[in-house]
Structure 1
Amino acid sequence: MKRILVIQTAFLGDVILATPVLSELKRLFPGAELDILVKKGNESLLLNNPHLHELFVLNKSNGKWKAIFGLIKEFRQNNYDLVINLHRFGSSGLITALSKGKKRYGFRKNPFSFLYTKRFDHKIGDGTHEVERNLSVISEFGAEKKVRPELFPSQKDFDVIQPFVKENYYCIAPASVWFTKQLPAEKWVELTHTLESDSTIYVLGAPSDKELGDVIIEQSTHENIENLAGRLSLLQSAALMKSATRSFVNDSGPLHLASSMNANVTAFFCSTIPDFGFGPLSDDSKILQVEGLDCRPCGIHGHKACPKGHFKCSQIELIDSH
Structure 2
Amino acid sequence: MPLKILIIRFSSIGDIVLTTPVVRCLKQQLQAEVHFLTKKPFRSILDANPYVDKVYAIKSKIGEISQELKREQYDWVIDLHHNLRSFQVKRLLRVANRSFDKINLQKWLMVRFKWNVLPRAHIVHRYLDTVKKLGVQYDGQGLDYFIPEAQELPLRNLATDQNLSPELRNALQQGQYIALVIGAAHATKRLPVNKLIEICQGIKLPILLLGGPDDRPAAEQIARATGTHVVNTCGQYSLHQSASLVRQAQQVITHDTGLMHIAAALRKPIVSVWGNTIPEFGMTPFYPDGMDENTTVEVKNLSCRPCSKIGFDACPKGHFNCMEQIDPEKIFLAIEPFIPIKIS
TM-score of the superposed pair, with normalisation by structure 1 = 0.87
* Cα distance, 1:304–1:143 mapped onto 2, change above 3 Å: same
- TM-superposed deviation, 1:75: 1.2
Residue number in structure 1 paired with 2:224: 218
1:190 aligns with 2:198: yes
1:178 aligns with 2:179: no
Residue number in structure 2 paired with 1:320: 330
- TM-superposed deviation, 1:146: 5.7
Whether the 8 Å CA contact 1:201–1:224 is kept in 2: the answer is yes
**Other structure's SS at 1:98 match:** helix
1:46 aligns with 2:51: no
Residue number in structure 2 paired with 1:137: 130
**Other structure's SS at 1:41 match:** helix
Whether the 8 Å CA contact 2:254–2:270 is kept in 1: the answer is yes
Cα shift readout 1:106-159 (whole Å, capped 9, x = no counterpart): 1366xxxxxxxxxx9996533321111111111231321765211111222224
- TM-superposed deviation, 1:320: 2.3
1:291 aligns with 2:296: no
Whether the 8 Å CA contact 2:100–2:126 is kept in 1: the answer is no
Whether the 8 Å CA contact 1:175–1:212 is kept in 2: the answer is no
Residue number in structure 1 paired with 2:245: 240
Q: 2:173 aligns with which of 166, 176, 184?
A: 166
Whether the 8 Å CA contact 2:153–2:244 is kept in 1: the answer is no
* Unpaired runs of at least 5, structure 1: 110-119
Once residues 269 and 220 of structure 2 are traced to their aligned partners in structure 1, the CA distance between those partners, rounded to angstroms, is 24
Cα shift readout 1:188-238 (whole Å, capped 9, x = no counterpart): 11111232x3x3211111111111111111221x32222111222112211
* Cα distance, 1:162–1:78 mapped onto 2, change above 3 Å: farther
Number of residues paired by the alignment? 301
**Other structure's SS at 2:5 match:** strand
- TM-superposed deviation, 1:310: 0.8
Residue number in structure 2 paired with 1:112: none
Residue number in structure 2 paired with 1:150: 144
RMSD: 2.0
Whether the 8 Å CA contact 2:10–2:39 is kept in 1: the answer is yes
Paired residue type of 1:19: T
Once residues 10 and 189 of structure 2 are traced to their aligned partners in structure 1, the CA distance between those partners, rounded to angstroms, is 22
Residue number in structure 2 paired with 1:116: none
| Larger mean Cα displacement after TM superposition, 48-57 or 140-149 | 140-149
1:21 aligns with 2:22: yes
Residue number in structure 2 paired with 1:209: 215
Whether the 8 Å CA contact 1:136–1:145 is kept in 2: the answer is no
Paired residue type of 1:266: V
Residue number in structure 1 paired with 2:112: none
Cα shift readout 1:51-84 (whole Å, capped 9, x = no counterpart): 1111110113xxx3xxx12322211110111111
Paired residue type of 1:16: V
Whether the 8 Å CA contact 1:84–1:96 is kept in 2: the answer is no
Paired residue type of 2:319: H
Cα shift readout 1:284-311 (whole Å, capped 9, x = no counterpart): 1111000111111111001111111111
* Unpaired runs of at least 5, structure 2: 108-117, 159-171, 336-344
**Bigger fraction of residues in helix:** 2
Cα shift readout 1:31-68 (whole Å, capped 9, x = no counterpart): x22110111211111232111111110113xxx3xxx1
Whether the 8 Å CA contact 2:153–2:241 is kept in 1: the answer is no
Task: Give runs of aligned pairs for residues 87-98 of structure 1, distance below 5 A.
Answer: 87-98=81-92
Residue number in structure 1 paired with 2:318: 309
**Other structure's SS at 1:320 match:** helix
Once residues 158 and 18 of structure 1 are traced to their aligned partners in structure 2, the CA distance between those partners, rounded to angstroms, is 23
- TM-superposed deviation, 1:88: 2.1
- TM-superposed deviation, 1:160: 4.4
Whether the 8 Å CA contact 1:97–1:104 is kept in 2: the answer is no
* Cα distance, 1:207–1:247 mapped onto 2, change above 3 Å: same
Whether the 8 Å CA contact 1:48–1:152 is kept in 2: the answer is yes
Q: 1:262 aligns with which of 255, 261, 267?
A: 267
* Cα distance, 1:138–1:254 mapped onto 2, change above 3 Å: same
Cα shift readout 1:218-272 (whole Å, capped 9, x = no counterpart): 221x322221112221122112112312111111111111112111111100111
